[in-house]
Amino acid sequence: MHEAELIRMAQSGDHDALVELLRSIETSVYRSAYYILGNEQDALDASQEVLIRIYRKLDTYQEKAKFSTWVQRIVSNVCMDKFRAKKETVSIDEHELIIPDRNNVEEEILLTGLSNDIQEAIGRLPKQYRMVVVLRYLEDLSYQEIAEALDLPLNTVKSYLFRARQQLQELLYDYQKGGIG
């Protein structure tokens, strides 16, 4: 069934259509959340939250924007909430874990492959850059759609994306140098 038709049916109260619509977006919601938050558990929590919000707020969706853009906007909002919540509950013990000693760093470089390198590099980006990269490469959204999803000016989106790629390039180059040495 076509997405637009599913949305209309779900908005008119068809429960099955609503469930089917949620199933159709489930993987993309989880994928974005996973790459933005960087771990499975947080991604699952965030995905649940996103799907519940869509279930409850679908009647507020208007066809002015693409449905995927609207969904990704909710994903980014939920992920930002998660970041804030994490920041508030950071303990001293967690800080101690963040500071790696030299042996751990070397071990990490030896064990991780190239795909892990890029994932780790994404995790090191600032949150806004990470979101722009995820929406651009994983959700295949255009500059304009990213701007709508994140409620940012178009030029800011471009700037974030360019800087994110530049930083990723530098991080990956450092990893390769460390791996060789």
Partner 1 sequence: MTNEEIFELMQRDLDRDLVESEQQLLHRLIQKDVDLQLMYNRLKDVSQQLEHLPPVVPPFSIVDSILPKLESAAAKPAAVTSTMNEEILPTLEVKRESSSLPESKKWKRMKVWMASLGSTAVAASLLVGMLFSGGDGKKQEVDSFQNGTDMTPAVVKQPKTPGPDDPTPPSNNPIPSNSKEETDKAKKSSGATTQTKSKRPPAKTEKKQTSPPKKTKTPPPPQKKPVPPTPVITDDKPPVWPIGLEENPDREDKEPANDDKDDGGDKQEEKNKGKNKEKKKDKDDND
Contacts with partner 1 by CB under 8 A lie at: 19, 22-23, 26-27, 29-31, 34-35, 40, 43-44, 47-48, 51-52, 55, 114-115, 118-119, 133, 136-138, 143, 158, 161-162, 165-166, 168-169, 172-173
Least distance (Å) between residue 79 CB and partner 1: 15
- Cα–Cα distance between 51 and 155 in angstroms, integer? 30
Task: Provide the greatest CA pair distance for the chain.
Answer: 62
Q: Which is nearer to partner 1, 37 or 69 (CB)?
A: 37
- SS3 of residue 137 by DSSP: helix
- Cα–Cα distance between 107 and 87 in angstroms, integer? 28
DSSP 13: T
Least distance (Å) between residue 23 CB and partner 1: 5
CA atoms within 13 A on the CB side of 126: 10
Q: Which is nearer to partner 1, 15 or 94 (CB)?
A: 15
DSSP 1: -
Q: Which is nearer to partner 1, 83 or 143 (CB)?
A: 143
- Cα–Cα distance between 41 and 103 in angstroms, integer? 27
Least distance (Å) between residue 92 CB and partner 1: 26
CA torsion sign for 171, 28, 84, 97 is negative
Q: Which is nearer to partner 1, 16 or 94 (CB)?
A: 16
Q: How many CB atoms lie within 10 A of CB 79?
A: 24
Q: Which is nearer to partner 1, 150 or 161 (CB)?
A: 161
